[in-house]
Amino acid sequence: MAVMHEMLSNNAFATMNRLEKGEEGVVYAVPDVRLLASLGIRSGKRVRVLAKSFASGPVIVDIERRSVVVDRSLAAQITIRK
Amino acid sequence: MSCATTKSRDTKHKKILLMGLPNVGKSAIFSRFTGMHVMVSNYTGTTVEFTEGKMAVGDDTYTLIDVPGVYDIKQSVDDAERVAVSMLEEKPDAIVFVVDALNVESSVYLLMQVLEYKLPTVVALNRVDLLKVRSMRIDHRVIQAALNVPVVPTIALGGDSLDLVKERLARDLASPDAPHYVLEENELKRWDWVERITARALKPLSDNATIRQDRFAFLIRPWPGLPIAIGVLFLMFAAVIGIGMGLRQFLIMPLFEGIRIGEHTVGLFPWIRAGVEALGITGTFQRVLVGEYGFLIKGIEWPFGLVLPYVLSFYLSMSILEDTGYLPRLAVLLDGVFKKIGLPGNTIIPLLLGYGCGIPAILSTRSMRSRKQRVAVAVMISLAVPCVAQSSAFMFLLVEHSLLALVLVFMISVFAMVLAGFVMDRIKREPMPLTLTELPEMLAPNPALVGKKLLFRVRHYVKDGAIPMVIAIVVTAFLYEFGILDVAGRAMAPVVSGWLRLPEEAATPLIIGIVRRELAVLPLIDMNLSTVQLFTGAVVALFYVPCVAMIATLAKEFNAKVAVGTLLFTTTTAIVIGGLMARLGGLLATWLG
């Protein structure tokens, strides 16, 4: 947890929900949620935020030309290296 | 809702499974192979139950099974995945596996899981044509060599590439040869392996081609996504009304009511009236045939003159919208808002379908994971979403008297829907399932496909909508002419006249409205009602019994408790709100002078 905290306070890392529209990064750590891997959200993959839906709606990211829709609360558990 | 047999298992013939990720064209391939119609849409989860049909391969006939699309069968959690696994465990004779050219990585990953069952498999590498949009091409031989399984590039929606799949299948079934491939037990390593294969198979069209990202992401951003959503829905509404009214006024009604040619009126109804007269039928029987509820006139005019034009215009618009891939984007745009009432954004799809017919709308909730959510959406549709038949009846009833009343009825419908959703969410709180999905490609609708879908839905309307309507009208004609409806009217007077402030005869729509939603509206047309009474009648009809077929669907999809509960809830709401509206409308009318 301490390591995680240090990583996030270091500007090189952010959780996916913190990225702004148009921002890019590489997936660093993902929670153990099924379908994430199948949808392409695996560590090492480059993602780019296409849109953030309003009213705390999902984050839509581009992963190798796929548009993947990720719940805002799930995006908060995905660490991205900017 | 499909003419293909569902669930009744065929044990005579040998079996072939059709498998792959969701929304990769399995149902389109199924239709081409079997010649049967299956609902095909450009969004995930159109096929939830499996569908089977006959398919000739070589000299043999096989049963082809359209298995619902899944991403992963290792940890089968939801219904679709369990169905897929149990079908594989029954050892089918062969598998046609559809790899999506737009999503090779996840397709190949699932393909590896399927190949572990060691069954003869032919791979259809589908949608190769769409790779051009992404400035990419694919070498199918890379996958073929890596997994030692035959791979045929296909375009399911056109061309004859599917014949090659069949030929290959015929050869494999003649000499089954189990595939052997690199088995990577560690999941992470397996993804690495799949990534390497994918990288080798996919090539940019030219060296300087840049791979474009989703150009339609703006549809999901609040700006300009929200105004566009309002625009699209408004455009759809306008198209449904415009095309529907046009068809009715310029095509169908001239055919029915007739056009004057010289001294003669040439048309269906004048002929029927003349025919009945020529046969010397008089008195009560004449009236049963061509009188107030004369079924030779109303039995044709209501289902085909009033409702059919709007069935055509609604399903034309809906089928086009479904094929573009816009609906899942609308669902994502509204996801945050819908979550406020405990429902996912894709609830918008069953709700929109409900404006066509409630039955396919309720069936389409099968792709939702939570039962509580399914019931909530079904109740919302049963209570407050008027089907296309009822909406066209509203239009016919109100458009000339008061456009304001018509708009108010639809506004009340939306308001009640939201309120019902909100209340049900408060009654029973449940953690929201996480939204996690991918968006389909935005595509230009294929006119042939839209035409097929429209034809299928219109045929469905005639069979399951128009025919029951005609039967109900025949029964009504007899009950009316033999004075039975009068008796019922007097019995129901306290409610109908006392509380709802409608004439006694308005008991008729309440009685026959149990059978079909629009029949709770149509008899009001000829009663010379005031605007307030028309409005009251429309509001009662909106919330009233959602038709026999829908109650049966609720009982079948959920249980008798849900069906009876919905029936009581909607009917009570209808009477209570109707009475309030009669008083409120009365006040408003005197106030406005």
pLDDT in tens, B367-394: 787 889 999 999 999 999 999 999 999 9
Separation in Å, CA of A9 to nearest CA in chain B: 27
pLDDT tens digit sequence for B394-423: 998 998 888 888 999 999 999 999 999 999
pLDDT tens digit sequence for B285-326: 888 898 878 889 999 999 999 999 999 999 999 999 999 999
Q: Chain B: residue nearest A70 by CA?
A: B436
Q: Which residue has the higher pLDDT, B158 or B455?
A: B455
Query: HSE-up of B84 (CA within 13 Å, CB side)?
Result: 29
Interface membership of B578 toward A (CB under 8 Å):
no
Output the pLDDT for position B544.
94
Separation in Å, CA of A13 to nearest CA in chain B: 22
Residues contacting B261, CB < 8 A, separation 6+: none
pLDDT over 70 percentage in chain B: 92
Output the pLDDT for position B263.
82
The full 3-state SS of B164-207, as one line of letters, equals: HHHHHHHHHHHCCCCCCCCCCCCHHHHHHHHHHHHHHHEEECCC
Separation in Å, CA of A38 to nearest CA in chain B: 5
Find the mean pLDDT for residues B136-160.
Answer: 88
Q: Where does chain B hold its CATH 3.40.50.300 domain(s)?
A: 5-204
pLDDT over 90 percentage in chain B: 51
Mean pLDDT score of chain B:
88
Find the mean pLDDT for residues B169-179.
Answer: 74
Give domain B5-204's CATH superfamily.
P-loop containing nucleotide triphosphate hydrolases (3.40.50.300)
CATH number of the CATH domain containing A58: 2.30.30.90
Find the mean pLDDT for residues B165-193.
Answer: 75
Cis peptide preceding B224, ω within 30 of 0: yes
Q: Which domain holds residue A34?
A: 2-81
Q: How many domains does chain A have?
A: 1
* Candidate from B134, B187, B218 with C-beta closest to A65: B134
Separation in Å, CA of A1 to nearest CA in chain B: 24
Q: What is the ipTM of this complex?
A: 0.91
Collect all residues of chain A within an 8 Å Cβ-Cβ radius of residue B106.
38-40
CB within 8 Å: A67 and B439? yes
CB within 8 Å: B105 and A50? no
DSSP type of residue B51:
E
CB within 8 Å: B335 and A38? no
Residues contacting B509, CB < 8 A, separation 6+: B519, B520, B521, B522, B523, B524, B537, B541
The terminus-to-terminus CA distance of chain A in angstroms comes to 20
